[in-house]
């Protein structure tokens, strides 16, 4: 018959084991056995838990009777996992023993790392234009104070750099807003063809290199339920990318098609393909394009005023609409960014 300690340990929802004064495991549950891929009960603990920090924590716990805490690392199905290990004194067979519990903190550690990376990225992106601005302010207040030609040139560069900072802040705010209403289903009725045309017209007039042709092909009109502002932002970002990264004399094609049943969405859907003729994207980079601040060629993107947040925003918006974003690209030929959205 199982003793009360063993049945208590077996019922725990986290990896747990008891070690007695003779340093032997007297009870362990399946979660704990899975951690080391061995049945632990009956074994001397240092033969199975080999990481120095956990051995030290258990030895100290056994000798002093004081609670201990440490970390344990392992790899499960190629995923690196991090655990907080607590060692607490308990009455075990033959005297003072310890209860060892493992708490999975992998997700919170990853979230913390992502937050740190994000802050580091934002600071870096802001520091570059800010350093330039400070430098020009210093020059204009000193050496170039009375040089009219230099003043005009520096002011123009300062305008560009300030514009870059302002765009970054705008993009960050818009990413926050999209994340905020990620769980709320959009309810506007949106006519896609008009929305795409207006996004293309806006881009055409905004920057000189955007004045190239953007052909929009598809039905006369196409109504969906969505968030008009956000879908407009999707189209602006995708068409802008196609114009920016496509070849100078080539046209961008936006093709809209509906289907009564899309397999991926399992319902009627509309597919919007934005295609450019250009250098295309290396296959290994395609999976990373929607990461915040990821750029294939950061220098080129920055030069064109990019923040590297455009596709991250697109992905969030498409997810909110329960849609899918697909990217296909061929080196030296061009790329197609496809947005699939549920209809009706």
301 counts as binding ligand ATP under rule CB under 6 A? yes
From 186, 226, 308, 342, residue interacting with ligand ATP (rule: CB under 6 A): 308
Whole-number minimum distance, CB 210 to ligand ATP, in Å?
12
d(CA 241, CA 310): 9
Whole-number minimum distance, CB 335 to ligand ATP, in Å?
4
Segment interacting with ligand ATP (CB under 6 A) among 142-150, 184-192, 255-263, 309-317 = 309-317
242 touches, from Mg ion, ligand ATP, none (C-beta below 5 to 8 Å by class) = ligand ATP
97 touches, from ligand ATP, Mg ion, none (C-beta below 5 to 8 Å by class) = none
237 counts as binding ligand ATP under rule CB under 6 A? yes
CA-wise closest residue to 203 among 211, 191, 193: 211
Three-state SS string across 185-224, please?
Answer: CCCEEEEHHHHHHHHHHHHHHHCHHHCCCEEEECCCCCEE
From 25, 35, 62, 242, residue interacting with ligand ATP (rule: CB under 6 A): 242
Segment interacting with Mg ion (CB under 5 A) among 127-135, 238-246, 263-271, 312-320 = 238-246
Q: What phi, psi does 274 have (nearest 5°)?
A: -110, 115
Query: In this structure, are residues 74 and 35 in contact, taking their beta carbons and an 8 Å threshold?
Result: yes
* Residue closer to ligand ATP, measured from CB, 115 or 331: 331
Enter the tokens of residue 42.
């009956």
15 touches, from ligand ATP, Mg ion, none (C-beta below 5 to 8 Å by class) = none
241 counts as binding Mg ion under rule CB under 5 A? yes
Taking residues 142 to 171 in sequence order and writing x for each that binds ligand ATP by CB under 6 A, - otherwise, the string is -----------------------------x
* Residue closer to Mg ion, measured from CB, 18 or 314: 314
d(CA 34, CA 211): 61
Enter the tokens of residue 317.
């918006």
How many CA within 13 A on the CB side of residue 271? 17
307 counts as binding ligand ATP under rule CB under 6 A? yes
Whole-number minimum distance, CB 250 to Mg ion, in Å?
17
How many CA within 13 A on the CB side of residue 5? 18
Segment interacting with Mg ion (CB under 5 A) among 68-76, 112-120, 168-176, 307-315 = 307-315
Place of tokens 């790392």: 113
Query: In this structure, are residues 42 and 22 in contact, taking their beta carbons and an 8 Å threshold?
Result: no
CA-wise closest residue to 271 among 168, 176, 341, 191: 341
From 310, 323, 334, 342, residue interacting with Mg ion (rule: CB under 5 A): 310
Whole-number minimum distance, CB 310 to ligand ATP, in Å?
2
DSSP output for 285-318: HHTTTTSTT--SSHHHHHHTT--S-HHHHHHHHH
d(CA 44, CA 48): 7
* Residue closer to ligand ATP, measured from CB, 99 or 243: 243
Number of residues counted as binding ligand ATP (CB under 6 A): 22
List contacts with ligand ATP (CB under 6 A).
Answer: 171, 237, 241-242, 245, 276, 278, 281, 289, 294-297, 301, 306-312, 335
């Amino acid at each position: 018959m199982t003793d009360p300690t063993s049945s208590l340990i077996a019922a725990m929802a986290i990896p747990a084991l008891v070690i007695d004064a003779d340093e032997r495991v007297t009870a362990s549950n399946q979660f704990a056995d899975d951690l080391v891929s061995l049945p632990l009960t009956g074994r001397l603990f240092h033969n199975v838990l080999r990481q120095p920090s956990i051995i030290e924590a258990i030895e100290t716990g056994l000798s002093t009777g004081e609670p201990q805490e440490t970390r344990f690392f392992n790899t499960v199905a190629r995923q690196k996992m991090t655990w907080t290990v607590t060692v607490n004194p308990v009455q075990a067979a033959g005297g003072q023993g310890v209860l060892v519990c493992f708490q999975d903190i992998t997700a919170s550690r990853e979230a913390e790392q992502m937050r740190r990376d994000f802050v580091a990225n934002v600071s870096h992106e802001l520091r570059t234009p800010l350093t330039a601005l400070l430098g020009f302010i210093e020059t204009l207040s000193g050496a170039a104070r009375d040089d009219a030609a230099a003043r005009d040139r520096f002011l123009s560069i300062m305008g560009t750099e300030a514009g870059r900072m302002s765009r970054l802040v705008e993009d960050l705010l818009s990413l926050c807003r999209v994340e905020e209403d990620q769980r709320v289903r959009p309810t506007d009725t949106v006519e896609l063809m008009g929305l795409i045309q207006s996004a293309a017209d806006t881009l055409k007039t905004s920057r000189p290199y955007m004045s190239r042709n953007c052909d929009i092909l598809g039905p006369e009109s196409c109504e969906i339920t969505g968030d008009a502002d956000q879908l407009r932002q999707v189209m602006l970002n995708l068409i802008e990318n196609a114009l920016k990264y496509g070849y100078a004399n080539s046209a961008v094609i936006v093709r809209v098609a509906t289907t009564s049943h899309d397999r991926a969405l399992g319902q009627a859907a509309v597919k919007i393909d934005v295609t450019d003729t250009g250098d295309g994207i290396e296959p290994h980079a395609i999976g990373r394009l929607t990461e915040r601040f990821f750029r294939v060629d950061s220098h080129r993107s920055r030069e064109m005023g990019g923040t590297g947040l455009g596709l991250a925003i697109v992905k969030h918006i498409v997810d909110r609409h329960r849609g899918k974003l697909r990217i296909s690209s061929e080196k030296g030929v061009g790329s197609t960014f496809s947005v699939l959205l549920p209809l009706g």
